[in-house]
Amino acid sequence: MGWGVLVELTMEHEYYAPNMPPVTLRPNDARSFDKDGLLLRQQGTKGFVLAEDDATGLPPQIAIDLHIQSADVITVTAGGDWKQVPQIDLPMGTDHATLDPVRPEVMPTQTPGHWRLAQLIIDITPGVHRKVHVTFKAVSSHWAYHVIGPGNDEVMIEDSEGRVSFAPLGVTTLPDGRPANVLRSSDALPARARPGQRFSLSKPGPFGPRTLIPVLPTPQPLFATVPAPDGTGAIIQSDIYVSIF
C-alpha cells in the first residue's frame, strides 16, 4: 500500500522571497483530516497533502490553515487581517491564487494566540495530483527619512538606479525635542525582508554632491497612516531615522 500526492502547494511571499514565509501548515479540522486518511507534510517552500493510493470516500475539498510564526507576517502582508482569517479558494481549474484585499462579508474569526495568515480551501479528486501556487503581496509604503544633525536642511537622497525620487517635507520636531528634516519617497515601495533599493544621503559641496551616508538603512516592518500630500485620503508611511553627527 502506497501513498500519493493529492496537493502540492507552493507558497510565495513578496516580503520574504525567495524564502518561504514563516508559517506552519495545519488542517483546519485535524480530526476529520485524520479520519479521512489524509496526511499533511511541509518541506522547504512546499506543502503536500497525501492520501493512500486506494483511498475512498475522500471529501471534495479540504481547508488548510497558515499559522504564523511571527507577528510580522500579518503586518507586512497586503490584505493581512488581525480580526478575521482571509480565505483563498482553489477550486478545480484554478491553480494560481493571490490573497485579495477585497473580502467577503463572512470569514473565520481570528483566535488570539493562534493567528492565521490565511485559510486555503482546496478542491481535491482521488488520484489527481494538483499543483497549486499561492502568492502574497507585501504592504507598500512611502519611506520617510528623518535626518538629524547639523546641516540636515541641506541634505538630499539619491537612488543609484534613478528610479525613486524623494520630496522634502520640511522640518519636524521629534519627541525628544530635536529637529529632523524629513524626505519622503514620492512612490510607495513594497516592503522587503531584504530590500534591493540602495539610497544614499548627500549634501552640496564645492565640487559637487558630497556623500554623507553611502547606503541608507531600510525601514522596519512598521507602518503608519498619514494624510496624503494632496490633502485627500491617506497614505501608508514607514519612518526611518538617521543621524549625520
**Is 190 in the same domain as 229?**
yes
> What pLDDT, on the 0 to 100 scale, is given for residue 104?
66
CA atoms within a 13 Å half-sphere pointing along the CA-CB vector of 52: 10
The distance from CA 109 to its chain's CA centroid, rounded to whole angstroms, is 20
Instruction: Tell me how far apart the terminal alpha carbons of the chain are, to the nearest angstrom.
Output: 71
Give pLDDT, residue 23. Answer: 97
CA dist list (Å): 78 to 86, 88, 117, 140, 150: 11, 14, 11, 8, 38
User: Position 15: which residue type?
Assistant: Y
Q: Are residues 7 and 53 in the same domain?
A: yes
- 18 with 88, same domain: the answer is yes
Per-residue model confidence as pLDDT tens digits over 118-175: 999 999 999 999 999 999 999 999 999 999 999 899 999 999 899 999 999 999 999 9
Please give the average per-residue pLDDT across 223-232, as a whole number.
91
pLDDT for 105:
66
Per-residue pLDDT at 55 exceeds 90 = no
Mean pLDDT on 11-38: 94
132 and 146, same structural domain? no
205 falls in which pLDDT band (50, 70, 90)? confident
Q: Are residues 147 and 131 part of one domain?
A: no
Q: Which three cell numbers stand for residue 195?
A: 530590500
CA distance linking residue 205 with residue 208, whole number of Å = 5
Residue 35's H or E segment, with its range, is: helix 30-35
Confidence of residue 11 (pLDDT cuts 50, 70, 90): very high
Question: pLDDT tens digit string along 178-193?
Answer: 999 999 999 999 999 9
Among 96, 121, 136, where does a domain finish? 136
Local confidence band at 245 (pLDDT 50, 70, 90 cut-offs): confident
Give me the residue label for grid cell 536642511: 153
Q: How far apart are CA 147 and CA 180, in angstroms?
A: 5
Same domain? 162 vs 188: yes
Query: Is the separation of the CB atoms in 40 and 48 below 8 Å?
Result: yes
Are 47 and 26 in contact by the 8 Å Cβ rule? The answer is: no
Domain total of the chain: 2
Please provide the DSSP assignment of 153-173 as one string. Answer: GG-EEEETTS---EEEEEEEE
Q: Which pLDDT score, from 0 to 100, does residue 165 have?
A: 97
The predicted pLDDT at position 1 comes to: 62
- The grid coordinates of residue 57 equal 470516500
Do 27 and 132 lie in one domain? The reply is: yes
Is the same domain home to 147 and 173?
A: yes
Q: How confident is the model at residue 107 (pLDDT cuts 50, 70, 90)?
A: confident
pLDDT at res. 232: 84
C-alpha separations of 192 from 77, 96, 141 in Å = 10, 22, 11
Please give the share of the chain, as a percent, with pLDDT higher than 90.
83
Q: Which carries the bigger pLDDT value, residue 157 or residue 56?
A: 157
Q: 22 and 59 share a domain? A: yes
23 and 70 together in one domain? yes
CA distance linking residue 23 with residue 33, whole number of Å: 19
Q: Say yes or no: 152 and 121 in one domain.
A: no
Which residue segment(s) compose the domain that 101 sits in?
3-136
CB neighbour list of residue 105: distance below 8 Å, 6 or more residues apart: none
How buried is residue 240: exposed, middle or buried, by Cβ count under 10 Å (0-12/13-18/19+)?
middle
